[in-house]
Amino acid sequence: MNRKILFALVLFILISLPSLSSLSTQSDDGNVVVISIDGARADFLFRLMEEGMLPNLQNLASRGSMAAFSVSVLPSLTAVAHASISTGAWPGTTGIVSNYFHVVTDPIYKGTDGFGAPLKAEAIWITAIENGKSVATIGWPCADADDPERRGDWTVSWGTRDAYSYSKDIKPWWWKDANWVMGDVISYSTPKEAYFYLKVGWKKYYVNILAIDTTDDLEENYDAVYFDDDKDLTNGYYGGPLRLGDCCPIELPNPERSGSWIKIMVFEPDLSAFNLFLGAVWHTNAYPEELEEYINDEFGFFPGDPDYYALEHGYIDEITYLEQAERLADWLADITIYLIGEYDPDLVLAYQPQVDECEHQFLLVDPRQLGYTPERSEEYIGYVEWAYELADENVGRIVEAAGYDSTFFVISDHGMAPIHTVVYINEILKEAGLLVTYTKGSWTYIDTSATKAYAFTSGAAAHIYINLEGREPTGIVPPEEYREVQRQIVELLQSVRDPETGEEVFDIITIKEMTKAFHLYNENTGDVFVTTRKGYTLSYQYWVGIQFEPSTYYGQHGYNPLIPELYAISIACGPRIRHTIIPPIRIIDIAPTVCYALNIPPPADAEGRILHQ
């Protein structure tokens, strides 16, 4: 039997099975807290709990129930899965068919961000509010503080990045004798000064650096710096004394209260080498406005997610990446705890992203992966385990804040599989003549007048759209040729083989009409939809001139959700939750079950089941 058909049958059987939960019959409603640990794998959870590394999650499971695993949606991507978790509906109903996809009324090259695209199904926060419940969402994917349809009573959405990060060398000849008001600060060598700036749009924000020598040893060896805006330490400063490896937040004097975290990466005592990592500039997005102001005052600006680009390009090291992951996870947890204590929301939707962020970069377990050695693998898996431990710690803090009279659901959206190879799918289309580009100067562009198809990728999944006449504004493929082009794409991708092993690269290859079997059919669904086999990931880039390349990062999702590494987690604990291990559940069952715990009806478009006895 064709394995694509087999997958559809297995999925149909799985989603049709009767489910058993430990949620007892309805009684007085109470607070419900849902915590999404992005990317948490069921097998990792069980192993780490058995090893005693996750005491807080183990405590919840021992008091309540835990599913053998939870099945994500197809494609198993963060925006897609959280849209389904939030609505109880399949991707074909929510309209969120990928993290990044094409809306067919747009030009063929234009994409849409799945995290910000309109939800076509009713979200649980709307259901709760309409039924008299108060709702807080903190970092929750698909929630948006700026959109009345996508926010709760209190919403902290993902921050806005105002500028990218970069690595900044302070050249030796830039240092001058300092002319600062130093107050009580003492330097045993002549203080030196230099500066750098953070650029947001066209505006530059200058930051002065004061280098001092704190060792009274008759030698010129600078070992600490201060950052300040006006060279006067007596009226406050950004940070100091800062030494090699130290970090400092700098909030900019703009209306958004944007900020950047700066880290000292290199600091030679003679100032012959001094390097700063200037983190991306972000600002907080929260509703209502007074909540945003309070967050900026008490918790600081949105710190940003771990900078994978900087890590992969050598601007930062692994420890810095982990520091960034911890900073964001703690910021989200701290605000969650504050909102619980201050406002006591009936429903809390909280988010912890660090497991996903660390698995993407550190899931080094396969000898085919670039740079693999047993020793490096052990080190990197240690980083992944650390991320699970941090999630466990923050779950424990949130549970303590809410109290055990609340009901808790600790879930994930998908798991994570190791990868070794990047596949440039648009280069494959280009070689076949389906995608045509041209070069102007140093840039490569899509020739929409000659392009028949283009792929939008997210992780291991891709939607391939035909540039259809009468549908896309740039359309060139006549409707009578649509089926032929669709067939050509399918046969082309079926023929793709790994150049090293000769094995097939793609797992699911299906036309748009057949995605109904996967609950993925929607006007936004590609004319051809594909996922790769485990070990491969996709890139949309069409200007690299190659079709395969070793991956410089190590974990991915977006695959068939029935791959065991993609199994998600589900733990429930509360006054009406019995202690048991339950059979596998689906992530679309979460919203109806949470609503049941709140004594309200499920979201209007929910297709999942209430998990109860």
Same structural domain, 413 and 424:
no
Same structural domain, 396 and 446:
no
DSSP reduced 3-state for 36:
strand
Cα atoms in the Cβ-side hemisphere of radius 13 Å centred on 129:
15
Q: What is the CATH number of the domain that holds 88?
A: 3.40.720.10
Q: At what angle do helices 318-343 and 374-402 cross, to 10 degrees?
A: 10
DSSP-derived letter for residue 177 is E
- Flag whether pLDDT at 13 surpasses 70: no
**Is residue 42 included in any domain, yes or no?**
yes
Q: What is the CATH number of the domain that holds 505?
A: 3.30.1360.110
Mean predicted confidence (pLDDT) in 145-149: 95
- Flag whether pLDDT at 195 surpasses 90: yes
- Flag whether pLDDT at 3 surpasses 50: no
Cα 268 to its chain centre, rounded Å, is 36
Confidence class of residue 8 from pLDDT cuts 50, 70 and 90? very low
Domain count, the chain: 3
**Is residue 289 included in any domain, yes or no?**
no
Cβ neighbors of 600 (< 8 A, separation 6 or more) are: 29, 127, 128, 131, 133
**Is residue 86 included in any domain, yes or no?**
yes
Task: Report pLDDT for 580.
Answer: 86
**Is residue 173 included in any domain, yes or no?**
yes
**Is residue 602 included in any domain, yes or no?**
no
Same structural domain, 511 and 431:
yes
**Is residue 608 included in any domain, yes or no?**
no
What are the E-state strand segments in 53-117? 65-67, 70-71, 100-101, 112-113
Parent domain of 172: 166-278
**Where does a domain end: 278, 313, 341?**
278
Q: Express as a percent the part of the chain with pLDDT over 70.
A: 95
Same structural domain, 551 and 570:
no
- Token reading at 30: 């109470």
Distance CA 37, CA 359 (A): 12
**Where does a domain end: 527, 556, 585?**
556
**Is residue 290 included in any domain, yes or no?**
no
Residue with token string 């309409």: 130
Mean predicted confidence (pLDDT) in 350-357: 99
Same structural domain, 9 and 153:
yes
Same structural domain, 382 and 507:
no
Mean predicted confidence (pLDDT) in 241-256: 98
Same structural domain, 20 and 151:
yes
Mean predicted confidence (pLDDT) in 68-84: 99
Same structural domain, 374 and 472:
no
Q: Express as a percent the part of the chain with pLDDT over 90.
A: 94
Task: Report pLDDT for 12.
Answer: 41
Instruction: Specify the pTM.
Output: 0.95
Confidence class of residue 17 from pLDDT cuts 50, 70 and 90? very low
Residue with token string 């019959």: 25
- Flag whether pLDDT at 79 surpasses 60: yes
Write down the mean pLDDT value for the chain: 95
- Flag whether pLDDT at 565 surpasses 60: yes
Same structural domain, 40 and 172:
no
- Token reading at 158: 């993902």
Distance CA 611, CA 590 (A): 8
**Is residue 218 included in any domain, yes or no?**
yes
Confidence class of residue 1 from pLDDT cuts 50, 70 and 90? very low
- Flag whether pLDDT at 585 surpasses 80: yes
Same structural domain, 153 and 50:
yes
Confidence class of residue 4 from pLDDT cuts 50, 70 and 90? very low
Task: Give per-residue pLDDT as tens, 443-470.
Answer: 999 999 999 999 999 999 999 999 999 9
Same structural domain, 49 and 35:
yes
- Flag whether pLDDT at 592 surpasses 80: yes
Cβ neighbors of 379 (< 8 A, separation 6 or more) are: none
Cβ neighbors of 451 (< 8 A, separation 6 or more) are: 108, 434, 435, 436, 467, 474, 476
Task: Report pLDDT for 292.
Answer: 99
CB 540 within 8 A of CB 456: yes
Task: Report pLDDT for 578.
Answer: 86
Q: Which residue, among 159, 576, 149, 130, has the nearest Cα to 346 in the 3D structure?
A: 130
Confidence class of residue 579 from pLDDT cuts 50, 70 and 90? confident
Mean predicted confidence (pLDDT) in 5-17: 44
Task: Give per-residue pLDDT as tens, 82-106.
Answer: 999 999 999 999 999 999 999 999 9
- Flag whether pLDDT at 557 surpasses 50: yes
Which secondary-structure segment (H or E) carries 160? strand 154-163
Same structural domain, 540 and 568:
no
